[in-house]
Amino acid sequence: MELGYSYFRNQPIFKKIIIINIIVFLLPLVSNTFLFLFNLDQINLIKYFDLHPNISQIIQSPWTIITYSFFHVDFFHIFWNMLILYIISDYFLSFINTAKFIEIYFYGAIFGGLLFIFSYNIFPVFNNSFSPLIGSSAAVYSLLIFVCTYFPNTSINLFFFNVKLKNLGLFYVILSLVQIPFNNAGGNIAHIGGALFGFYYAKNFNLSNSPFDFIINLYKNLKIKSKQKNYDQTDIDRILDKISKSGYESLTKNEKELLFKNSNKD
């Protein structure tokens, strides 16, 4: 048990979130398996943590505005959410600290949940519809759209081709919008809520006033830490100059590691 906790404690924040999501996904399945084997009534644990659009139920269980984001419908639901989270998180944390990551993730979940509640209580199509919401998609979309908005022209390798982040973000937002009338309306509305928060946060990010200020602040942090840790400042200057000219993806693996080690991880 201690070994497991030590492993968990030493993981980056996005891996901790992935581990927690997997454990929470498996918990109801495992518990119901044992109840079945002992011929006992199975328990729907999710109903205590999912988010209902009914205002009276939200008042009685306010924690659901967060807890809904840790439960998933099935394997593919959690798989795709965790895959997107894994892909974007390493890039995100190379530039921006853990505190901001947590803030964007959980506020995205809250904002997605609030838009879900608002929509189900305002739009006539949802009259007398009380389908609960579960899934981390709103939180994941918040991080995804933040990255796509803050680094719009950065290209990433997506399986067999390169795509700019701004185009990737636009694709996911449009996909959620057009699916609302056909499939999982509440979930897709929550996606939009998380995406809106990620977009807003990127446009009002207080780390810097512009991409140039961001590079300057990053340079100052790297300069201070490089002196403390005896890193070669010439290499750091060269890496920053390379980013400004060719983008982050032009860096080699060693250059990315050097940048990551000297970034602000507070």
DSSP assignment of 48-107 equals: GTSBPS-HHHHHH-TTHHHHGGG--SSHHHHHHHHHHHHHHHHHHHTTS-HHHHHHHHHH
- What's the pLDDT score for residue 252? 78
Instruction: Could you please state the CATH topology (level 3) that the domain comprising 2-203 is classified under.
Output: Rhomboid-like fold (1.20.1540)
d(CA 190, CA 100): 21
d(CA 78, CA 38): 28
- What's the pLDDT score for residue 211? 41
- What's the pLDDT score for residue 87? 86
Q: Which amino acid is at 96?
A: I
d(CA 78, CA 177): 20
Domain boundaries, the chain: 2-203, 211-262
- What's the pLDDT score for residue 113? 97
What DSSP element (H or E) covers 157? strand 155-158
- What's the pLDDT score for residue 255? 74
Specify burial of residue 41 (Cβ count, 10 A radius: 0-12, 13-18, 19+). Answer: exposed
pLDDT in tens, 3-38: 677 888 888 899 999 999 999 999 999 999 999 999
pTM, full prediction: 0.74
Token pair for 16: 């901790």
The residue ranges of the chain whose pLDDT is under 70 are 1-3, 206-233, 236-237, 240-249, 256-266
| 155 phi and psi angles, rounded to 5 deg | -100, 140
d(CA 114, CA 116): 5
d(CA 264, CA 1): 31
